[in-house]
Each structure stands twice: as C-alpha cells, then as structure tokens.
Amino acid sequence: MSRHLCSRCIAFICSFVIGCLLLGLPAAAQKRVALVVGNSAYVHAGALANPANDAYDMAAALKDMGFEVILGLDLDKRAFDTKVRDYSRLLTAAETGVFFYAGHGLQVAGRNHLVPVDARLEGERDLDFETVSLDFVLKQMELEREGKTNIVFLDACRDNPLARNLARSMGTRSASIGRGLAQVQTGVGTFIAYSTQPGNVALDGQGRNSPFTAALAKGIREPGRNLTAVMIDVRKQVLAETSGRQVPWDHSALTGDFFFHLASAPGVLPRVGPLAAPAPETEALQERLRELEAELRRRPDAGQTANIAKLEQLKQRVRQLEEANRADQQRIFDTYRKHGAASDPAARAALNREVGSIQLQMARRGQEQKALREDITKLASEAGLATRAQGAPK
C-alpha cells in the first residue's frame, strides 16, 4: 500500500507543480500561426544575402511568442504554393495569422507579386505562373475569418533584376511596373507593413539581417508593447541605420491593440482552473477515506471506535486543505483581475511576487497532503486493512 500511495504522491506533486506553472500563462491561450518565407538563392537573378537569415530569425522570434510557425527557405514556385496551402489550413482555427516574406517582389499595374527562387519572367503572362500573388495570400488570411487578426510583414522592396527583364519584354506596357511594392488596401482586421514606403527600394544591409528585419525581430520580443509601439521603434531604428534613406511604412485596418506578448495585453488574466471542483488527487484521497470508513463501520469490534475518530480528523483536514487551495486559486484570479497586465517592469515584478507568495502556500499544502496520505496508510495498517488498501485507490 505504501508503495502505491507513494507513487500517487509523486503524481500529485508533479501535477501540482505543473498547475502552478500554468497559473502564469495567459487565459487567452489563443491559437496563433505564422507563415515565414525567406528567398535568397535565386536561379535567374542574383542571390540575396539576407532573406534566408531574416526568415530564420523571424521564425525564432515568433516561436518565442507562442506562434505555431511554418518556415520556408529558398522556396521554388511549387514549394511556395504548398506552404501557402498548409498555412491556409492552420488559419481556419487561428485567432491570429502572421505572414512574413523576405526576398524579391515586384509590382505590376498596382498588384504585388512575390518571387520564388526558380521564377523566370520573360513575359507578362509569366507573372501568373511564376510568382505568388500577394492578393492571393491576403485572401487566404481573410477568408472566413471575420473578426480575426491578420498581420503581414514584407521585406521585399529590393532592387529586382527580374522586374527589369520583364520591363524590356513588355515594351510600352513597362510603365505599369513600379519600383518596390504597391500600397495594398486590406480588409478589416488586417495590418500590413513594408520595409520601406510604397514605390521605394529597401536596402539589404551589411550584417546578418536587413535593417528592417533586424529591428522587427528585436521589437516583437519586447514585453509591454503593442504593435503600433513596435513599428514606431522599428521605423526609428531603420531611419538611423540607413541615414534616412529607408522609411518603414504600414497600413492598419485593425480594430484593437495587438500584443505579441499575450501577457502584456490589458485585461489578460492567468489560467485558473475551475474553482468549484477539487483536484483529481484530492478526489482520490477523499474516496480512499470513504472506503476506509465503510470498512471500519462493517467491523463490530469496539476497538475500531478510536480508528473511526482518527478517520474523522483526517477527513476534516482534507476538507480544510481543499477549501484553502480553492480560496488561494480565487485570490490569484482576483489579484490579476485587480492589477491587470501591468506593463511597468516594477509593477509586474510586484504582481509576480504577490502571486508567487500565494503559490508557495499552495505548494506547502501539497506537502501536507503527502503527510496525510502517510497517516491514512498508517491508520489502515493499524485497523488491519492493509490487504484491502493495496488496491483501493482508484
């Protein structure tokens, strides 16, 4: 019996520790997905130094923020289409979708096209077969997702030799080919950001990342900042890095603030389990006490009277511990409700200390429950119920 109860004690302590960790997670553990693409190794145009690095680092940053990420590096047309399809399937159940693209892109007649690494643009018709339309990606993000959030980052405004080749083949129609990317009109709930203003060309940068992506990957990791604040800092950093030659630009049709750090969002509360229901381990403990009581009352000898009295004391203590744990769960919930998601580091530290103190009390009760199990084992042994008790816990 003691070996079985010991294993259940370990299970209880593990589940309790996990539960305490979950208390620090935001209640809005919403599904957030991202498609991140970086194309560097172009076959019919010069290779780009940064996009693959940009995509890899952005994917890491988004994963750190809890996003489920589809990463595509150096995608040809077939692979690009497949990644977009996989992404569209994830979007159906997602509250937030992010699309990041780094690589070659071009605008023709006001429409933006993203360029796979194997694209060969010898004529205007090739656009439909060789590139991925940004409009198509946006359609997938907005389709049947009313009220959801879509965020697009385009680091694709580089000087593009494929666009020059296409312009030569189009003759007088080449005037429809613009520099950089064109401004996009988005649906409600969509935010789109360019590495530079529409119609301009962005810089690749001299380091591992482009100036835009380097600032963006850093910004989304900073807690307590909404998307607007992140983009303001990105704009400032890129302006400084490029001596004013590149100005990141964005267009927003969002209807509320967006935070990459969910815990930073105002009003976000921690996960707190149902307050009315006892934990499974407590239920198992209470069930074992009921079984022991039934066994003791079936025995007519007067010697069991003292054991029944001890059993009542154990039952009372189990109830007290459970009530105290439920009260502390409510205290944690109320604490977050009162303070909200404090963005000031000092305020958040104070909030975490207060919650941590409550969780410490709950952990100590876990040790008390372990001692109670040992007392129950001892009582069963003294009452001559050890054989029955070995298989009793359910």
Burial of 369 (0-12, 13-18, 19+ CB in 10 A): buried
Distance CA 196, CA 206 (A): 17
Q: Which fold has domain 32-264?
A: Rossmann fold (3.40.50)
Per-residue pLDDT at 353: 76
Assess whether pLDDT exceeds 80 at residue 44: yes
Per-residue pLDDT at 366: 74
Amino acid at 153: F
Q: What pLDDT digit, counting tens, does each position of 274-302 carry?
A: 444 455 556 666 777 777 777 777 666 65
Assess whether pLDDT exceeds 50 at residue 50: yes
Per-residue pLDDT at 263: 66
Q: What pLDDT digit, counting tens, does each position of 327-372 carry?
A: 877 777 667 666 654 455 666 667 677 777 777 777 777 777 777 7
Residue labelled with tokens 């940064």? 50
Residue 114: phi and psi, rounded to 5, are -100, 140
Per-residue pLDDT at 126: 82
Per-residue pLDDT at 379: 73
Q: What pLDDT digit, counting tens, does each position of 83-106 carry?
A: 999 999 999 999 999 999 999 888
DSSP string, 266-314: TT--B----SSSPPHHHHHHHHHHHHHHHHHHH---TTHHHHHHHHHHH
Q: Where are the domains of the chain?
A: 2-24+273-389, 32-264
Interval 379-391 mean pLDDT? 57
The conformation of residue 68, written as its DSSP 8-state character, comes to E
Per-residue pLDDT at 2: 45
Interval 26-41 mean pLDDT? 81
Assess whether pLDDT exceeds 90 at residue 148: yes
Per-residue pLDDT at 154: 93
Interval 242-257 mean pLDDT? 87
Assess whether pLDDT exceeds 50 at residue 21: no
Q: What pLDDT digit, counting tens, does each position of 171-218 carry?
A: 433 333 445 676 777 788 999 999 887 667 666 667 789 999 999 999
The conformation of residue 109, written as its DSSP 8-state character, comes to T
Q: Apex CA 390: angle with CA 387 and CA 394, to 5°? A: 135
Assess whether pLDDT exceeds 90 at residue 323: no
**Sheet of 105-108, strands arranged across:** 132-133, 111-114, 105-108, 177-178
Global model pTM greater than 0.85: no
Q: Are 77 and 119 in contact (CB under 8 A)?
A: yes
Task: Kindly give, in sequence order, each residue whose CB lies less than 8 Å from that of residue 118, ignoring residues fewer than 6 positions away.
Answer: 43, 44, 76, 77, 130
